[in-house]
Copies of this chain bind each other. A is one copy, B any other.
Amino acid sequence: MTQHDTATKLLDAAEKLFAAQGFAETTLRTITKQAGVNLAAVNYHFGSKEALIQAVFQRYLDPFSEALTRQLNQLGEHEEKVALEWLLGVLVALAVGNSSKEQQKALLFFRLAGLAYTQSQDHLRSFIQERYAPLFKRFLTLLCNALPEVPATELFLRSHFALGSVIFTLQGFGSMQQISEQDFGQPLGLTQVIERLLPFVVAGFRAPYAAS
């Protein structure tokens, strides 16, 4: 079932450790130890640590990007009259999944995404930018269809605001969970947070637009 070749073991170990500690803070020695392989394996299979980082992201983003493209393609001629809730719902469904195993994977990815934004991995940022920008633009066009009363430049900004809410919230999900539990005695699951996140973002997108 699960491949257990060295490269896969390395990716598994690396994504976990990167998410927990950051890129610069995670050493190849820790990764290879956790993966149970030799130290030299990273350089043999990927070439360098940078290449390993990119490979970790690619393993997440390529399937996601393909699935989203497929969903958007199958809209056909309904592209013009798609609703905001449908668009965001598709994103959530693809990114978060259903099973608790998928959700755990999703949390890991959000953590990684947050890191990618903040840690100064320029190679990674340009890698992602080049590879997935077209899809983002297409999504933005659909957003414009869904909210014709808001200009495109404003929607561009608001999509960044929304992305910020999501990534920021979910990447620090663990610690927020703790605080929430000790302050309000309320256990918070990922599904619950997303259920709260969606109305917030939807309301933000639908905010009345006032030109300045």
Contact = CB atoms under 8 A, between A and B. Distances in A.
A158 B197 CA distance: 8
Nearest to A197: B161
- Secondary structure dominating the interface of A: helix
Interface stretch (A6-14, A16-24, A35-43, A46-54): A16-24
A85 to B, nearest CB: 13
A32 to B, nearest CB: 20
A120 interface: yes
A5 interface: no
A113 to B, nearest CB: 10
B195 A200 contact: no
A168 interface: yes
A193 B212 CA distance: 11
B161 A169 contact: yes
Interface stretch (A56-64, A65-73, A95-103, A180-188): A180-188
Interface of A: 20-22, 24-25, 114-115, 117-120, 125, 152-154, 156-158, 160-169, 171-172, 175-176, 180, 183-184, 186, 192-193, 195-197, 199-210, 212
